[in-house]
Structure 1
Amino acid sequence: MASDPRTRSTARVPASTSLLASLGNEPRLLMVLTGMFWAGNAIVARSVAGEIPPIGLAFWRWAVGALVVLPFAWPHVRRDAKAMLADWPTMLLLSALGISFFNSGLYLAAQSTTALNIVMLQSAVPVLIVAASYSLFRDLVTARQACGIAISLLGALTLISHGDLGVLTHFALNTGDLWMLAASVSYAVYTALLRKRPAVHGLSFLFATFVIGAALLLPFYVFESVHVRPMPLNWHALVAVGYVAVFASVVAYLCFNRSVELLGANTAGLAVHLVPVFGTLLAVLLLGERLHAYHALGIALIAAGILLATRKPA
């Protein structure tokens, strides 16, 4: 008697594929990975400020990211190209908001403001996502989600202010801060609009937005190279581009976009509050900084807020 074809199909699925599929349905893990790799992005942006031009870093981030994801995305792109072309206005808007402008704004901000200000303004993204979701779609947050977002935000501000929230009253905006604020608003709108993306495979969407985002940046990159300063060709630049292209782009965006699918924009946006958490841990591990009580308090508040906001109702 012939075996059941469904059994044969299941048997051919590699264990690694099953594991990846399982991980792709764990939104909390996806948020952790997103926050971890974006923390590295903020550190890289600040460390190369003045050495690597901001538009050049953003352009090569997406161009290299597209090349990295292409071999995995190509079978899906061939199938999904028609659907994405049919909805080109949405693809163009999402690429401009979440790919081109957000990261260029962050890298421009890093040229003239502190890492502290960048992280503090970025921590407003979850609140801005709630505002964007309500403005565009009249989405309301539940009391549980609102409490989780508030607790997580308090934890992020505790880390950023080193436990002294009074320092936040002395915050004043400079040019770099305005770039970061505009970038944060851009990413909040991108996140809220992700529900409107074409119904295509995640890798197809990722590749297409990376390509469009790089294309939108190309004229600005050429202008920067000719009239400001060209992209340096050295190991420091190669390592920086490699990290932001592979980890902060391909891996982080796959995780973030999937977490938005699973949790919705308002809750998935809390991944941004994990950026100062991992920034702190990286500083301790790589720079030898000491852990203080406010670190533990801030991390605990962020963890509690995310657990509360992502907890499934009984």
Structure 2
Amino acid sequence: MSRRYAEGMVSWRVYLFLVLANLFWAGNYVVGHLVAGRISPLQLTSIRWAVAAPLLIALAMLIDRPDWRAALREWPMHLLQACLGLIAFCLFSYEALTHTTALNAALVGATNPALIAVVAALVIRQRMRPAASTGLAISLLGVLLILTDGQLLQVFTTDYNVGGLFMLGAVAVWTAYTVIGRSLQTPPVASAAVQAVMAAVLLAPVSLSIGGPMTLDSAGWWGVAYICVFPSVLSLMLWNISVKKIGAARAGVYLNLMPVFTALLALAMGSPITLVQLIGGALVIAGVWLTSRPARSADLIDTAGRSAVR
């Protein structure tokens, strides 16, 4: 009983980590909208990781206590991860929002959990249970309801422009980042720290040379500070820990919580919330619950065996 209780506590914490990671990422969209136009995507991404890197190093030393030499032996993989999840994803996302509407960008972004699940199943043979597949479909339906204001046929009539293509690039690189991260031997927080340092070093000279002017006021700088700490440090740390514990496919469905949290944050800031958003949010939560339900004992044995091989 004690072992089963301990495993349940670990699972409970992992799912809480995923919820918090997506809450902080939702805040990134809200705050990012407030500073848009006053700082370039390149500058914002560069400042994010320059500030986040030392914080992640401190957290890694406190939580993981890693062997840094062993971590650096995986430097090619960390460099790839930094280029994918920390640089390319941020640049693509911020650039997408300068070319397209929030609806177009969000509709493309909503395909991310499905793409993660498919790639995980094909590349690393991470089997999806029927309940997980059903939960994925339900949560995606909830996201589409929220994003189209209940008019699902908009999915087939929306005109994707250059911004939609940039968002598709963001979806692709985050999928690769999530799936590849499962194979790293470096502890998750240390991985995030190494990758943040690499991203900051790569971006600094480019940002200084072609970044352009910034027109941020004090409120804008507080917004940048939020982006540097919450979505950049805490979300990345919690996401990497969760993917390491439960796999890319099951973690990926939690990305569908972002539009729900975005709606709630908008409500807190004075924007109304509609019945469609409430229904869509309920579907997302139901889908997440189905996907994160514990597997049967046979599935657990199979998963353990696959993890041991990897």
TM-score between the two structures when normalised by the length of structure 2: 0.86
The CA RMSD measured in Å over matched residues stands at 2.0
Give percent identity, aligned residues only.
34
Aligned-partner Cα distance in 2 for 1:140–1:60: 38
Structure 1 residue runs of 5 or longer lacking an equivalent are 1-21
Aligned twin of 1:209:
195
Residue 245 (structure 2) aligned to one of 259, 262, 267: 262
Aligned twin of 1:305:
287
- Kept after mapping to 2: 8 A contact 1:46/1:115: no
- Kept after mapping to 2: 8 A contact 1:129/1:188: yes
Aligned twin of 1:106:
93
Aligned residues: 288
Which SS does the other structure have where 1:165 is aligned? coil
Task: List aligned pairs for 1:54-203, cutoff 5 A.
Answer: 54-74=41-61, 79-200=66-187, 202-203=188-189
- Kept after mapping to 1: 8 A contact 2:138/2:287: yes
Aligned-partner Cα distance in 1 for 2:66–2:199: 21
Q: What's the offset of the Cα at 1:84?
A: 1.6
Q: Deviations over 1:143-167 (max 9, x none)?
A: 1111111101000111111111122
Aligned twin of 2:273:
291
Aligned twin of 1:253:
236
Aligned-partner Cα distance in 2 for 1:77–1:260: 16
The 1:67/1:269 distance shift into structure 2, 3 A limit, reads same
Q: What's the offset of the Cα at 1:73?
A: 2.9
User: Is the deviation greater in 233-242 or in 272-281?
Assistant: 233-242
Aligned-partner Cα distance in 2 for 1:82–1:24: 30
The 1:160/1:75 distance shift into structure 2, 3 A limit, reads closer
- Kept after mapping to 1: 8 A contact 2:142/2:283: yes
TM-score between the two structures when normalised by the length of structure 1: 0.85
Rg comparison, structure with higher value: 1
Aligned twin of 1:11:
none
The 1:265/1:234 distance shift into structure 2, 3 A limit, reads same
Aligned twin of 2:3:
none
Letter in 1 for 2:265: L
- Kept after mapping to 2: 8 A contact 1:45/1:110: no
- Kept after mapping to 2: 8 A contact 1:141/1:266: yes
Q: Deviations over 1:88-109 (max 9, x none)?
A: 1111111111111111111111
- Kept after mapping to 2: 8 A contact 1:56/1:224: no
Residue 281 (structure 1) aligned to one of 261, 264, 277: 264
In the alignment, is residue 41 of structure 1 matched against residue 28 of structure 2? Answer: yes
Letter in 2 for 1:260: V
Aligned-partner Cα distance in 2 for 1:72–1:188: 25
Aligned-partner Cα distance in 2 for 1:75–1:282: 31
Aligned-partner Cα distance in 1 for 2:60–2:283: 38
Q: What's the offset of the Cα at 1:264?
A: 0.9
Aligned-partner Cα distance in 2 for 1:236–1:290: 24
Residue 230 (structure 1) aligned to one of 195, 213, 216: 213
Aligned-partner Cα distance in 2 for 1:145–1:131: 12
Aligned-partner Cα distance in 2 for 1:161–1:296: 13
User: Is the deviation greater in 130-139 or in 80-89?
Assistant: 130-139
Aligned twin of 2:301:
none
Aligned-partner Cα distance in 2 for 1:235–1:67: 23
- Kept after mapping to 1: 8 A contact 2:38/2:216: no
Q: What's the offset of the Cα at 1:28?
A: 2.0
- Kept after mapping to 2: 8 A contact 1:263/1:310: no
Structure 2 residue runs of 5 or longer lacking an equivalent are 1-8, 297-310
Aligned-partner Cα distance in 1 for 2:66–2:157: 53
Q: What's the offset of the Cα at 1:39?
A: 0.7
